[in-house]
Structure 1
Amino acid sequence: MGKNDPEKKAKQEAEANTPEKEEKTAAQEPEAETKPSALEEENAQLKDKLLRTLAEYDNFRKRSQKEKESIYPDAVADTVQNFLPVLDNFERAMAFECTDEEFRKGMDLIQKAFNEALTKLGIEEIPALGQAFDPNLHSAVMHVEDENFAENTICEVFQKGYKLGDRVIRFAMVKVAN
């Protein structure tokens, strides 16, 4: 009996522990099921957050690239805008009669060099005289009745206009025929 008693005790303890283990396992199963779904939900949230962050970074990168690309044209336009009054005065001076031919040749060379520099920078003169009036390119400061020109045609240019690509640096100041 001595030998059987420890065996019986072990069997009884094993039987006693078995229902508890089954109860614990049954109690842990729903918890185990909720943990993966909670983890999956958290994983999905983190993936979504990562995708949003990547998209935000990509938009930032594109916006920064556009800003970088616009810095040079903006700087050129601002600089040229400051030089245009000097060019206007130079052209007015060139309109006067000059008796000294050498001086006149020198002034012509300077004007040519200035215009070439503007061309290298991508600056173009806005066509005006004889063109149809375009409020996107021209600023009408006078309207006159002139039968020599069609209606809404520019008949005189007071100040030349310039543009850099599609961007107007200065509108041409013009007189328009009605």
Structure 2
Amino acid sequence: MKKYKNLKDTGEEVNVAEENEVAINSDVEAKGDEKAENVSDSEVEGLKAKLEEKTRQCEEYTNMVQRTAAEFDNYKKRTIKEKEALSLDVSIDMVNAFLPVVDNLERALKAAEGMEGNPLKDGVELVMRQLQDCLDKLGVEPITAVDNPFDPELHNAVMHVSDEAYGENTVIEEFQKGYLMKGKVVRHSMVKVAN
């Protein structure tokens, strides 16, 4: 702070800024004491009401933020499930495209059952084994049908016969193999059922 020479006769240097600050602070303290004495109960109640209103608004905003965070978390979970379901559907469509090839290879192996040492049969067996390994890696498994009870969720009954040798609603023959992928039916088994 700058010091100025006092215009008085004393010749002492006086800090004018400090004197002004002390004077201003004493005026403010005096006015603050007057205001504190003059504050009425109605003003206090008004301030309390404003405080309660602001507190209520803060609680509303906090609840809104919590709800938004919960909704976003649910959105993320739902999106992940939808992506997994979409991925499974695409995989099932791909597997469905390969199943006729599997059927034809199985038919070729069945037709070549009596031919031992045939290099063509050995080649088909190798291709079938390789294709089966690929399906296993994808989680594709055949539905067991023969000698099991008929299940409309897994089997497609194309023939019904009355036969006392078998139990009621028992699958006695499979015309086309069905497959499951991760618990979801890729293709139903085409079967003959005994009634």
User: Structure 1's 26 and 88: CA in aligned 2 closer, same or farther, altered over 3 A?
Assistant: same
Match of 1:111 among 128, 132, 135: 128
Match of 1:4 in 2: none
The aligned residue for residue 77 of structure 1 is 92
Cα distance, 1:145 vs structure 2: 1.6
Q: Please, what is the CA RMSD of the aligned residues?
A: 2.5
Spell out, residue by residue over 1:104-152, the C-alpha distance to the aligned partner (whole angstroms, 9 max, x if none).
Answer: 1111111111111111111000001121111121111110122332221
Deviation sequence 1:8-59 (CA, Å, 0-9, x none): xxxxxxxxxxx99977634422321211011011111111111111111111
CA distance, structure 1, for counterparts of residue 68 and residue 149 of structure 2: 51
Query: CA–CA distance in 2 between the matches of 1:114 and 1:51?
Result: 51
Judge which range, 31-40 or 67-76, deviates more.
67-76
Structure 1-normalised TM-score? 0.79
| Structure 2 CA distance for partners of 1:154 and 1:21, relative to 1, 3 Å | closer
* d(CA) in 2 for partners of 1:135, 1:46: 53
Partner residue in 1 for 2:165:
148
* Runs of 5+ consecutive residues of structure 2 not aligned to the other structure: 1-33
Once residues 181 and 120 of structure 2 are traced to their aligned partners in structure 1, the CA distance between those partners, rounded to angstroms, is: 32
Q: Say if 2:82 is the partner of 1:67.
A: yes
Equivalences for residues 3-152 of structure 1 within 5 A: 25-97=40-112, 101-152=118-169
Name the amino acid aligned to 1:75: V
Which secondary structure does the structure 2 equivalent of 1:175 belong to? strand
Name the larger-Rg structure. 2
- Give the percent of matched residue pairs that are identical in Structure 1 and Structure 2: 40
Aligned equivalents of 1:77, 1:59: Cα separation in 2: 27
Normalising to structure 2: TM-score of the pair? 0.73
Q: Structure 1: state its 5+ residue gaps.
A: 1-18
Alpha-carbon separation, structure 1, partners of 2:89 and 2:132: 19
2:42, 2:126 → 1: CA distance?
A: 97
Q: Identify the structure with the greater helix proportion.
A: 1
Letter of the 2:175 counterpart: F
**1 or 2 for the larger relative contact order (CA 8 Å, sep ≥6)?**
1
